[in-house]
């Protein structure tokens, strides 16, 4: 019984990853090479008010090292979903999102 539950859980996780990876926006973002300098500028304009000038936290949490514990898809979803109030929904272009991811990998 425990093996069946474990197998079902693993298959569920795998299926979610396939669906996430097949999202056209995500596929486009992940196919692009981001520019961390541009990403920093995007961060300063859209995120620094809550997450601090150097992503070190303020009203929102620190994002230092965030790419070490959150997948690129998880970061993309967090930014565009608006599912964690008070963080607003943000809809960057695929290139802007790639740039932002590139910056977040450096902080």
What pLDDT is recorded for position 7?
A: 54
Residue 9 above 80 pLDDT?
no
Bond from prior residue into 86 cis (ω within 30 degrees of 0): yes
CA distance 103 to 73: 15
The per-residue DSSP string of 10-72 comes to HHHHHHHHHHHHH-HHHHHHHHSPP-HHHHHHHHHHHTHHHH-TTSS-SSSPP-TTHHHHS-H
What residue ranges define each of the domains in the chain, with the CATH number in brackets?
23-106 (1.10.760.10)
Taking only the tens place, the pLDDT of each residue in 23-78 is 999 999 999 999 999 999 999 999 999 999 999 998 999 999 999 999 999 999 99
Residue 16 above 60 pLDDT?
no
Residue 17 above 60 pLDDT?
no
Residue 79 CB neighbours (<10 A): 21
Residue 18 above 70 pLDDT?
no
Q: Which of 37, 40, 36 is nearest to 55 (CA)?
A: 40
What pLDDT is recorded for position 76?
A: 95
């Amino acid at each position: 019984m425990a093996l069946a539950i474990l197998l079902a859980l693993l298959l569920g996780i795998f299926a979610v990853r396939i669906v996430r990876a097949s999202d056209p926006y995500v596929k486009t973002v992940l196919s692009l090479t981001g520019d961390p300098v541009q990403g920093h500028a995007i961060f300063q304009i859209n995120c620094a008010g809550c997450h601090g000038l150097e992503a070190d936290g303020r009203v929102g949490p620190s994002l230092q090292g965030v790419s070490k514990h959150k997948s690129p898809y998880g970061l993309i979803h967090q930014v565009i979903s608006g599912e964690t109030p008070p963080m607003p929904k943000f809809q960057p272009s695929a290139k802007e999102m790639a740039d932002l991811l590139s910056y977040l990998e450096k902080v």
